[in-house]
Amino acid sequence: MRGTALVVGATGIIGSAVARRLIAEGWTVHGLARNPKSEIEGLLPVAADLLEPASLAAALADVAPAHVFLATWLRQATEAENCRVNGAMVKNLLDALSPKATVRHVALVTGLKHYLGPFEAYAKSGTLPETPLREAQPRLKLQNFYYAQEDEVLAAAARDGFAWSVHRPHTVIGKAVGNAMNLGTTLAVFASICKATGRPFQWPGSQAQWRGLSDVTDARVLAEQLVWAATTPAARNEAFNIVNGDVFRWSWLWPRLAGWFGIEAQGFDGTVHPLEAQMADCGPLWREIAAKHGLVESELDRLASPWHTDLDLGRPLEVMTDMANSRKRGFAGYRATEDSFLDLFALLRADRLIP
């Protein structure tokens, strides 16, 4: 089944993957962002700010999607502000589309903070959930912008009569430049710096993350699930976790990532070594590396997000995710996690983002 889709956040790590998949399947795809300039061939750009309802309606004047994919957020200083701003972004978009009466399905991407709590209370003891994380677990009694966005989708679905799905990935592994959270590229840049300087590729996180089981979400498997849910009657009006389908330990993966770069890995040594500190002075160094190797992005901050990688790898518990709801309804998407990372590294090198 092919149709007309609107991908909101089309230049992000998730939105770009779903836009690529839809285009490859022959859909007509509009891609919305404030700056929708993208290398994706065939994507129809919609330049609009979700926080400006009047100009948003004007930008969408000629867009009549049946399927909407919401993969957008803007980080704010507090979770109260996150709820206000990110909830409004979803509401404004769905309000602007409502009079057209063309929308049949809205797929919203949130994530595991649904279970682990917002940034300001993220995986803090006292709110640690039971793992593997399951969709049926009740909401935490904490403010959370994911809940605000879900509530906006459910309210608009009740008003306008469209079907919905909610998608909760773990850490997303994929390509994006200038986006907010990108663990795969952060580690690729860190490894490239280690290689250039001879610094150790030192595990930055906690013992629980080093030793415990984990999983991640390849942006391509998430894109596959989004399109599946939007086109499968059995997936209507459901929330879905989405991970690769394998589990791993960082103690197993870390040396393999180092091996791809030809550097030596150093594992957990009893202390957390946050990447934010390890990479704090690396901006000028990255400019030198970029100049030496003819890279296309010399600003470290547009590639690496160590604050987010630290949050993820520093968690005090092992985190993995149950996929039964998808499997029971027929979704069989799978990626081997080592491939998710190594495919990304190869792509970053081919696109001259790392040496």
Ligand X SMILES: NC(=O)c1ccc[n+]([C@@H]2O[C@H](COP(=O)([O-])OP(=O)(O)OC[C@H]3O[C@@H](n4cnc5c(N)ncnc54)[C@H](OP(=O)(O)O)[C@@H]3O)[C@@H](O)[C@H]2O)c1
146 is catalytic: yes
Closer Cβ to ligand X, 122 or 196, answer by number: 122
292 is catalytic: no
Q: At what angle do helices 183-197 and 283-293 cross, to 10 degrees?
A: 80
Closer Cβ to ligand X, 169 or 333, answer by number: 169
Residue 163 CB neighbour total at 10 angstroms: 18
- Contact region for ligand X (CB under 6 A) — 103-111, 117-125, 231-239, 342-350? 103-111
- Tell me, by CB under 6 A, how many residues bind ligand X: 28
Binding mask 25-54 for ligand X (x = CB under 6 A): --------xxx-------------xxx---
Instruction: Give the CA dihedral 70, 326, 113, 223, nearest 10 degrees.
Output: -40
Question: Does the CA dihedral 74-130-237-337 come out positive or negative?
Answer: positive
Q: Based on the number of CB atoms within 10 Å of its own CB, is 262 exposed (0-12), middle (13-18) or buried (19 or more)? A: exposed
Cβ of residue 301: shortest distance to ligand X, in angstroms?
A: 13
Token pair listed for 224: 């596959």
3-state helix, strand, coil in the chain (%, to 5): 45, 15, 40
Closer Cβ to ligand X, 13 or 304, answer by number: 13
- DSSP letter for 319, please: B
Catalytic residue among 91, 146, 147, 175: 146
Catalytic residue among 113, 115, 147, 175: 113
Question: Which residues are CB-neighbours of 51 under 8 A, at least 6 positions away?
Answer: 74, 85, 88, 89, 92
Tokens 């590396």, residue located: 289
Residue from 5, 6, 12, 164 binding ligand X (CB under 6 A): 12
Question: Is residue 64 involved in binding ligand X (CB under 6 A)?
Answer: no
Please list every residue from 168 through 227 that binds ligand X, using CB under 6 A: 169, 171-172, 176, 179-181
Residue from 68, 72, 135, 261 binding ligand X (CB under 6 A): 72
- Give the footprint of ligand X on this chain (CB under 6 A): 9-15, 33-35, 49-51, 71-74, 89, 109-111, 169, 171-172, 176, 179-181
Point out the residues that are catalytic: 113, 146
